[in-house]
Structure 1
Amino acid sequence: MDHCVLEAELDNLGNAQSQEEQSKKKPSIYKIPPVIISDHNKKAYQPQSVSFGPYHHGEPRLKPMEDHKQRAFYHFLKRSLKPQVEIFDSMVEVAQELKDSYGSLEPKWQDDTKKFVTLMIVDECFILEILRVANQPFESDYSNDDPIFGYHGMLYAMPFIRRDMLLLENQLPMLVLVKLKCFEENVEYNVDSTNMLILNFFGFRTRDFERGKSLHILDLYRQRLLVKRSKPTERNFKRIHNQIVPLNLSATMLIEGGIRFRRSEGNSPMDISFDGGILRLPKFVVNDTTESTFLNLMAFERCNIGVGHAITSFICFMGNIIYHDRDISLLSSERIIVNFVGTDKVAANLFHTMSKDLVIDPSSHLNLVTVRMASYWGKPWPKWRAELTRTYFRNPWATVSVIAAVILFALTILQTGFTVYDLMLK
């Protein structure tokens, strides 16, 4: 083998090993892979009002928010019981860990630690101020007409900021936020209190959530979203493990096959069960931020190996049973879908686009549910019962008519029987 060729192959091997070592650092904040971006959904991954972290920092359309970040940083320093230099130095100590959190970091951030740490502190101070004001609206030191932190800002700016806080490319390491909150309150490192602030901000109940460490706000949001109330059955789980059973049946088709829909007690994507012909689904609110939030949650599951595929499987499952506006109407009538995006057709298209090219994790509980639904749907008796119900019991008057007909038929038989009996006696 040529010496130069051998040397080149050894260099490539060394580069591959270097990349493998890099992968072991386990980043948690990623650039969205081009393969999942389309002309239709690319805006769902981009911040609308504010950038957090290095990926979108400095974009012209987001610069107006930079002044408000500086105001938040100033208010944080006024309340903090630690000198600014001590806060900065503590972040420098973990700067490499923070840099390693990003899957793709430009040289200007990688090489300039001071610039990178300053960005981390200022952006996290802004988030901390948002959380503080939202959780303590009556203790704010801002005027009501403040465009961000006042009542005016809560009405007009906060919905966009809340949306941007759940973008994968817009995440900040949770470590910085927790440390800054501890500096502000002069307390020991406390993850739970920070988690509670964030979850309250996004409207979650916190009393039934086992708190713990998270990578960033999107990760915490996902963890809380997946807290289930019901306990799904695991019958025959091993038998169908790793077998994907396609279920190309819409909600209206499932109804025709004798499957009924009911709303689950919990609102988690994990609160889905099928038993006795009843499919229980969690309440799902469809609004202007649904597509952005769930596309970013699914992108996180795709990029972060080992985090699981629960959200992806859930959206795939819902997309499998929602084909048309009739399906949205049916699920809305059972208080499962709460539609705030317009017509039922718009909501159905939303599920269609979100679930495109997705597959259910074959080892998930939802695959088990799909298998059991497919088996039940193929049985004749549930279909006959459903057809009987639709034909003769579709409304109260139809039910009364059927009962009256049955009674009349029974009386006719009795009368005929008595007549025959009398004739036999004679």
Structure 2
Amino acid sequence: MGDTSINITEVADSVRNEFKALYPLLDECSIYRVPERLRRLNDKAYTPQVVSIGPLHHGKQEFQAIEEHKRRYLQDFLQRTKVSMERFLEIILDRETKIRNCYAEPISLGSVDLAKMVLADTAFIFEFLLRYSFHTLRKHNDPIFNRWSIIDVTLDLWLLENQLPFFVLRELFDLAHIDTSFAGNEKVTMITLTQKFSTFISQSFSIEHKFDENIFSSVEHFVDVMKVCLQPPYSVQNPNGLRILKAPSATELHHAGVKFVVRSSSKNLMEIKFDKGVLEIPRLRIVKASEPLLRNAMAFEQRRSPHTYITDYVNMIELLVISPKDVELLVRHEIIENWLSGGEPVSSLFHNLIKETPTDLGDFYFSSVINDLNSYCKDPWHQWKATLKEEYFKTPWAVVSIIAAVILLVLTVIQAVCSVLQVVLM
């Protein structure tokens, strides 16, 4: 029997009090910790190396050196504007609840410490973007652009766990009205700075992308900016979907007679097209930064987006580059621009990217392309035609030899028939 001395009402009240302490699940939430199942695959790809932004990695010992430099950037930024530090802090404190609601977990910092952190991190981002975009603003003794690698800092700003809400950046930059005489006649706004900063994504993947005000007004942070850069310009309905995620590799497609063509007119990675035996794929540049960029974009997409375009793209490329030979084939056709050391790192990269990542086969973006490729390769005529071309029509001389042999064979048959007819008619 249970302990009759326990007051059930008090127990129930205790549980109700725990309900009150629950962290609310809100639509504003857009900044998350990466799931452990993904972090185990490559922890470094999700963890800032030089600078922490926002509360999730704030206060760690390894970032203390750059915390002092953030204060220098804050001082420089305040000198560019006539707005007082008090006014900036006032705005941040007024937005405290909204800021906290952007994170998927409680922030342990109190109001004062949170406001100081947001101000320092915001000023750091502003100064970094200004110096990134306008080289004349860089100082010869600035460790960000000298001692510390600018690439490392840049990558840190594209990590999902290392973000500030974009509405804070927009509001504070608009409030600052900084002196932009250094830019000449060029307009300097948060959108133009972000546009320049997003060229890192464009150059990393060999794509082009431009913002407009409508898109920019809705982005939630830099990782969302990256998602916008990479996702297709329009959605595609795939009523049939896929039953299984399987397609021929690049080498198998080549043996089946598929012709690979770079879709040079495309400015988006997603515009892969297959028609009449021709597979058109936009050029993809693979660099060291490709893995962390793709991993963070995919992690955000899995949590926040109704469509997993980037995940689907990575799956599509992974199907094509099963082996280093597949990579080398696509490199020869200039579809992949490989800045890594050979084909094996590229094929391994895509194999590892799709691990522990769920895929919605019913809404797979490239369903029609995969279905068409599978159907094409099942037709034995395509295989036979490709083999004939590969084995017997490699060079003009081989073609001439085969034609001559055929003519000789025809003449021999004609001669034989004539001989038979001559005997019969005699």
Shorter-normalised TM-score: what interval? 0.7 to 0.9
| Matched-pair identity in % | 24
CA distance in 2, matches of 1:318, 1:254: 13
Corresponding position of 1:258: 257
| Equivalent residue for 2:142, pick from 141, 146, 150 | 146
CA distance in 2, matches of 1:7, 1:389: 84
CA distance in 1, matches of 2:278, 2:19: 52
CA distance in 2, matches of 1:55, 1:69: 17
CA distance in 2, matches of 1:420, 1:381: 32
Give the AA of the match of 1:347.
V
CA distance in 2, matches of 1:402, 1:208: 52
Query: Which piece of structure 1 moves more, 61-70 or 192-201?
Result: 192-201
Corresponding position of 1:390: 390
In the superposition, relative to structure 1, how do residues 274 and 293 fare at CA in structure 2: closer, same or farther (>3 Å)?
Answer: same
Query: Which piece of structure 1 moves more, 47-56 or 318-327?
Result: 318-327
**Secondary structure at 2:285 match in 1:** strand
* Preserved CA contact (<8 Å) 1:298 1:312: yes
Is the counterpart of residue 61 in structure 1 residue 94 in structure 2? no
Is the counterpart of residue 215 in structure 1 residue 220 in structure 2? yes
Once the two structures are superposed, the pairs formed by residues 17-32 of structure 1 within 5 Å of their partners are 22-32=24-34
CA distance in 1, matches of 2:276, 2:12: 61
**1:98 Cα deviation from its structure 2 partner:** 0.8
Gaps of 5+ in 1: none
CA distance in 2, matches of 1:166, 1:233: 28
Q: Deviations over 1:326-371 (max 9, x none)?
A: 1111111111212112121122111111122445432132122222
**Secondary structure at 1:168 match in 2:** coil
In the superposition, relative to structure 1, how do residues 226 and 254 fare at CA in structure 2: closer, same or farther (>3 Å)?
Answer: same
* Preserved CA contact (<8 Å) 1:29 1:103: yes
Aligned length in residues:
404
Corresponding position of 2:185: none
* Preserved CA contact (<8 Å) 2:247 2:374: no
**1:26 Cα deviation from its structure 2 partner:** 3.5
Once the two structures are superposed, the pairs formed by residues 241-256 of structure 1 within 5 Å of their partners are 241=241, 243-247=242-246, 249-256=248-255
Give the AA of the match of 2:227.
R
In the superposition, relative to structure 1, how do residues 5 and 285 fare at CA in structure 2: closer, same or farther (>3 Å)?
Answer: farther
Corresponding position of 1:183: 175
* Preserved CA contact (<8 Å) 2:331 2:337: yes
Is the counterpart of residue 403 in structure 1 residue 400 in structure 2? yes
**Secondary structure at 1:365 match in 2:** coil
* Preserved CA contact (<8 Å) 1:80 1:183: no
Corresponding position of 2:182: none
TM-score (norm 2): 0.84
* Preserved CA contact (<8 Å) 1:316 1:358: no
CA distance in 1, matches of 2:358, 2:392: 39
Is the counterpart of residue 199 in structure 1 residue 212 in structure 2? no
CA distance in 2, matches of 1:282, 1:224: 14
* Preserved CA contact (<8 Å) 1:30 1:102: yes
Corresponding position of 1:332: 331
Corresponding position of 2:116: 118
Corresponding position of 1:269: 269
| Equivalent residue for 1:170, pick from 146, 154, 162 | 162
Give the AA of the match of 2:60.
E
CA distance in 2, matches of 1:165, 1:208: 19
In the superposition, relative to structure 1, how do residues 383 and 314 fare at CA in structure 2: closer, same or farther (>3 Å)?
Answer: same
Give the AA of the match of 1:148.
I
* Preserved CA contact (<8 Å) 1:245 1:371: no
TM-score (norm 1): 0.84
Corresponding position of 1:341: 340
**1:310 Cα deviation from its structure 2 partner:** 0.8
